């Protein structure tokens, strides 16, 4: 359960202040499938980053699962990111010197999960995302679709309750992108909240709930029962 109340985020570029988010009020229930669309610069990524606790609002309140998280310490926020939130990025953000398996293992390592359990969970994730043959390959040796699958495996290895995907198919061709979307939607079917930022109308319309943004404000917020 995500609740944003009067969230405002301003960036200052030299003399100029850019109002990236302007009094955003938004409530997202657990397990929802939500897409955020809008023109470039409308504040989509900023909203996603604030939900993912990567960025702090200038004003307003953010409640996650009934708990105010805006004023938590850096360490507490890091813990929430680690345990409750999984990020998927347009450019994958895999660590080039680590193998696919090691990239997937990273959140478990950061979380101090014992090595034996780590190996089992990574093995299962590799299976789930059909990456067993690629376990010991580095990102440079993987296709775009495989890289994004590794990134999704990494985002889900901690079994987060929220997946935040910023243009997850932006660097993939149409068919591979559709496959990646199916993977993400499959996670949502299993109960994970899925929030996707996209330019693509067609992709955005797959979500039950669709939000359109413009100039840091939510323009429309529509819910469809069947996608």
Which parts of this chain interact with another protein (CB under 8 A)?
49, 52, 54-55, 74-75, 78-79, 81-83, 87, 89, 93, 95, 97-98, 102, 106-107, 109-112, 154-155, 158
**Minimal distance in Å, beta carbon 169 to ligand ATP?**
14
- Cβ proximity to ligand ATP, 44 vs 118, nearer residue: 44
Q: Which does 55 bind (CB under 5 to 8 A by kind): another protein, Mg ion, ligand ATP, none?
A: another protein
Residues binding Mg ion: what is the number (CB under 5 A)?
Answer: 1
Q: Cβ distance 99 to 138 under 8 Å?
A: yes
Residues 6+ apart with CB under 8 A from 85: 52, 53, 160, 161, 162, 163, 164
Contact 36, 197 (CB under 8 A): yes
Q: How far is the CB of 81 from another protein (least distance, A)?
A: 5
Please select the residue that binds Mg ion; options are 35, 42, 45, 169, rule is CB under 5 A.
45
Residue 151 · residue 30 · CB < 8 Å: no
**What's the closest the beta carbon of residue 202 comes to another protein, in angstroms?**
26
Residue 111 contact partner, candidates Mg ion, ligand ATP, another protein, none, CB within 5 to 8 A by sort of partner: another protein
- φ/ψ of residue 169, rounded to 5: -110, 10
Q: In terms of CB distance, is 114 or 191 closer to another protein?
A: 114
Report the Cα 87 to chain-centroid distance in Å: 3
User: Residue 29, by phi and psi: left (phi above 0), alpha (psi -120 to 50) or beta?
Assistant: beta
Helix (H) or strand (E) holding 153: helix 144-156
* Residue, CB closest to Mg ion: 45
**Shortest distance (Å) from residue 144 CB to Mg ion:** 19
Residue 151 · residue 88 · CB < 8 Å: yes
Q: Choose between 26 and 98: whose C-beta lies nearer to another protein.
A: 98
């Amino acid at each position: 359960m995500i609740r944003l109340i009067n969230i405002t985020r301003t960036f200052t570029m030299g003399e100029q202040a850019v109002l990236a988010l302007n009094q955003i009020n938004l409530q997202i229930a657990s397990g929802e499938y939500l897409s955020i669309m809008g023109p470039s610069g409308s504040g989509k990524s900023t909203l996603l980053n604030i939900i993912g606790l990567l960025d702090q609002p200038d004003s307003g309140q953010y409640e996650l699962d009934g708990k105010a998280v805006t004023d938590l310490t850096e360490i507490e926020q890091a813990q929430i990111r680690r345990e409750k939130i999984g990020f998927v990025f347009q450019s994958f953000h895999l660590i080039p010197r680590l193998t696919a398996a090691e990239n997937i293992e990273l959140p478990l390592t950061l979380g101090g999960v014992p090595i034996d359990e780590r190996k089992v969970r990574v093995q299962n994730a590799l299976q789930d995302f059909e990456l067993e043959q690629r376990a010991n390959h580095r990102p440079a040796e993987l296709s775009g679709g495989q890289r994004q699958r590794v990134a999704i495996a990494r985002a889900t290895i901690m079994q987060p309750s929220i997946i935040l995907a910023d243009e997850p198919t932006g660097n993939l061709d149409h068919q591979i992108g559709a496959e990646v979307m199916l993977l993400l939607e499959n996670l949502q079917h299993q109960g994970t909240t899925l929030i996707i930022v996209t330019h693509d109308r067609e992709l955005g319309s797959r979500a039950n709930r669709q939000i359109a943004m413009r100039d840091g404000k939510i323009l429309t917020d529509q819910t469809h029962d069947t996608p």
